[in-house]
Chain A
């Protein structure tokens, strides 16, 4: 069990992790190694074969694999090392961790700094407490996407989709292309969970019925799924008696939310925000453990991969500075508070050492001109609209934070203009 020593260790070779590797290398770190549990690089984007990635970073619409290919080439150019098929399964609170790999066996890795980039996972059926049987044919949308796009297998023929997260919307279209019947998408909330453009391009263009404020209330079938009962819900998201109807189907795909995957972070004692379910971070993407940084969907679930890559680079850069002993102890620690219409936001702290980007998701949609406000004073940003399925962001200059004097907290909110 000899040790592996590295300067910056990155856990996960998805968009956040690879960008972190690039960022760390560019900032001068000597040995940067990305540990990946899969056989291939790219994380979830390997299976996202539809276009729509990279508009902000590359100025063109790429597929997931194309987008990752550019980043992987960049990482190879700057000399990032990869260790594939290596599951990090235990992390100590000093940031050292254990990996397992069939050819290396069990190894301990002791890095000078770590970037957590494990991404997120899909919420399973069990988390919803839907009554009924538990037959075959119930998949999360991402698992179905892997089966169809990477393994070449069909999970089913007559499909109902519960939840309108982006992966679910993309899979609705994908299943139609493969000859399956998609009977409808059911969303318990009054607004879609995913991007507006995906509603248009994946549902509307294919005539797939989209039912807002409806949900699945019972599951039928002993061996294979035979049908689901759907019902309308009231304002408290409780099913309305008398609105139930049976939809015959052999497959139920779930797109009911993504949860940051923070088992390792918790093992290492990193403080986790119960709302985002990701680590508390400052604008350097440093967690409550100074040596440990985090970026991407492990921190907060993003809507666009471009933001994930940008944040990954930022975390990598700061991790490299930390490894070189060049990152100062933050002189200031200003807490960011979310206003009444900000459901999720990250970072939660500012140190004033660098310019910051605050990413937010609103609780209630605002379908007209609105603004991001940062109090006290100084900051305002105009938005055309704000929707829970899409993130809003605001840039904050380091000088602003330094100019705050004795202020211990700032507030961000999104309000009607």
Chain B
């Protein structure tokens, strides 16, 4: 009841992009359904939008990205971490290249800062040599081992304890929010339909269980001969719905800190501790928006939905970060978060087209370097679908495909002339909303036009509320604008969908409740 109340107005007010919420009565028909709108789902969706087919992306969250694609290190890896011959090693360096090539076309922020893996003792140097060897075999360009002193001459805040480091100049920091939005935005421009707050409940199969027919969701049926499983941390659950129990996902939680920008310049490149069994270790990096990012931990947990940080985890992050960069001050944090990696028990990506049922595609277990690999995986799997599933759908080129898209103007990073021109064109670009990150009303309105429906979505699109006061000033303004643009009461604006309402009612209501006066 509550959901319907809060979402039904979205259907009426919507003009621009195809984002849907609300209950459906009628069944909808597609050629391909993608389950999950993370980096995997969105890169696959964009790849599919090159063809003249009807594609729907379903995601249970209220805003994209929501799962591991939202809460991660924001890193495009160089590709030396993965064992040569593995699927990861095949896709990671390719993905790295694709991001660099698409940066202009899709307008997301990517900084080629390079990365260091730091060795603190002799054993770790041996490990660096192994990584160097792997990097060469995987075709990673220009990796080399440098001395601790050489490292400190480039990065003066690096610890004195670091005796050597593996330097990979092709590692990049990426704005992971922008990247997911960019792929999905472009896919939508090219005809893909995105359904948020749409949770898949079951896969519908033909009577003989040999063919995919569609999916059942909380909003009704979506029928389609092809279903792509990009459900991230839930992908094994989805696979089991069609009888595929070849892999199990163990969620592995990572806790992170984000610092105030005033310490964002402590490092230039991405710093990794020497990796262990558990993962790549605690990293320190300056994000694309010049905050310092510290984390993640690597803790197995059973719950696939709980992204709560823990005290031990956060302590571990600070300790690990200071081991690499000792001058990181206390009280520099502006926020903490946790993400759940989709760690498959197979140890590698699960990518394939099932024989039975026909039409079911797995793009699952895309753990680190999953974000990096995603665009390469997307190209690969769509290429295979064109051959192996051509009996189900005809992959004719989409002649109207437009590869370019622009992000919402990033007011904070524009020159004075550009800002002035923008403000002349639309005065709402001279109306400040978020003071910390210099976000204007024009940007917030454009985000809503492109499908932002929650306070969190506005933050992901524009950075309003992502600064050092964390929405203290702009929070009430963003609620106002959302309510106004969506034509809903302010009490129905949510932080991140569902029951996450920001306000519980008007003042003075209490006194008019039954029996009070």
Contact = CB atoms under 8 A, between A and B. Distances in A.
Contacts of B431: 85, 100, 102
Interface in A202-253: 217-220, 222-224, 239, 250
B314 A143 contact: no
B507 A152 contact: yes
Given A133-B306, A136-B495, A147 B503 contact: yes
Interface stretch (B196-204, B375-383, B419-427): B419-427
B94 interface: no
A197 B313 CA distance: 40
A153 interface: yes
B507 A129 contact: no
Contacts of B472: 121-122, 124, 140, 142-143
A136 B502 contact: yes
A156 B504 contact: yes
Contact of A153 (B309, B311, B490, B516): B490
Identify which of A102, A136, A148 gathers the most chain B CB atoms within 10 Å of its CB. Answer: A136
A255 B475 CA distance: 17
A155 B503 contact: yes
A59 interface: no
A154 B469 contact: no
Interface in A129-179: 129, 131-136, 139-140, 142-143, 146-148, 151-157, 178-179
Interface string B439-450: 010000000000
Nearest to A124: B470
Contacts of A104: 430
A153 B490 CA distance: 9
A143 B428 CA distance: 23
A62 interface: no
Residue from A140, A152, A153 with most neighbouring chain B CB atoms (10 Å): A153
Interface stretch (B42-50, B327-335, B399-407): B327-335
B416 A148 contact: no
Contacts of B494: 136, 223
A103 B469 CA distance: 27
A331 interface: no
B337 interface: yes
A148 B430 contact: no
Contact of A105 (B255, B420, B501): B420
Contacts of B331: 127
Interface in B485-517: 490-491, 494-511, 513, 516
B435 interface: yes
Given A37-B435, A98-B416, A129-B257, A151 B306 contact: no
B500 A224 contact: yes
Contact of B432 (A100, A124, A134, A147): A100
Nearest to B470: A124
Nearest to A219: B308
A125 B470 contact: yes
Nearest to B257: A129
Interface residues of B, number: 66
A102 B427 contact: yes
A109 B494 CA distance: 39
Contacts of B218: none
Which of B416, B455, B496, B502 has the largest number of chain A CB atoms within 10 A? B502
Residue of A1, A106, A178 with most chain B CB atoms under a 10 A cut-off: A106
B62 to A, nearest CB: 10
A31 to B, nearest CB: 23
Interface string B333-367: 11111000000000000000000000000000000
B503 A224 contact: no
B505 A222 contact: no
B435 A223 contact: no
Nearest to A89: B438
A224 B499 contact: yes
Contacts of A330: none
A87 B333 CA distance: 26
A139 B455 CA distance: 14
Contacts of B503: 147, 153-155
Interface string A30-41: 000000010000
Contacts of B504: 154-157, 250
A405 interface: no
Given A127-B333, A133-B306, A155-B504, A223 B423 contact: no
A134 B500 CA distance: 10
B282 to A, nearest CB: 15
B300 interface: no
Nearest to A143: B472
A377 interface: no
B333 A129 contact: yes
Interface string A274-315: 000000000000000000000000000000000000000000
B128 interface: no
Contacts of B510: 178-180
Contacts of B430: 100-102, 104-106
B500 A129 contact: no
A94 to B, nearest CB: 15
B307 interface: yes
A65 B94 CA distance: 61
B15 interface: no
Contacts of B141: none
B287 to A, nearest CB: 15
B280 to A, nearest CB: 22
B156 interface: no
B309 A131 contact: yes
Nearest to A99: B430
A325 interface: no
B305 A151 contact: no
Contact of A154 (B309, B499, B507): B507
B476 interface: yes
B473 interface: yes
Contacts of B468: 121, 124
Contacts of B86: none
Contacts of A180: 510
Contacts of A154: 503-507, 509
B249 interface: no
A242 B306 CA distance: 24
Which 7 A-B pairs rank lowest in CB-CB distance, beginning with the nearest?
A179-B510, A126-B335, A136-B495, A124-B470, A223-B500, A102-B427, A136-B500
Given A106-B423, A155-B503, 12 more contacts: A85-B431, A102-B423, A124-B468, A132-B308, A132-B309, A136-B494, A153-B506, A154-B506, A178-B507, A218-B308, A222-B500, A224-B501
Interface of B: 255, 257-258, 262, 305-311, 313-314, 331, 333-337, 416-417, 419-420, 423-424, 427-428, 430-432, 435-436, 438, 440, 455, 468-473, 475-476, 480, 490-491, 494-511, 513, 516
22 contacts: A89-B432, A102-B431, A106-B419, A122-B469, A124-B469, A125-B470, A126-B470, A131-B310, A133-B308, A135-B500, A136-B494, A136-B495, A136-B496, A140-B472, A151-B490, A153-B507, A155-B503, A155-B504, A157-B504, A179-B513, A218-B308, A239-B311
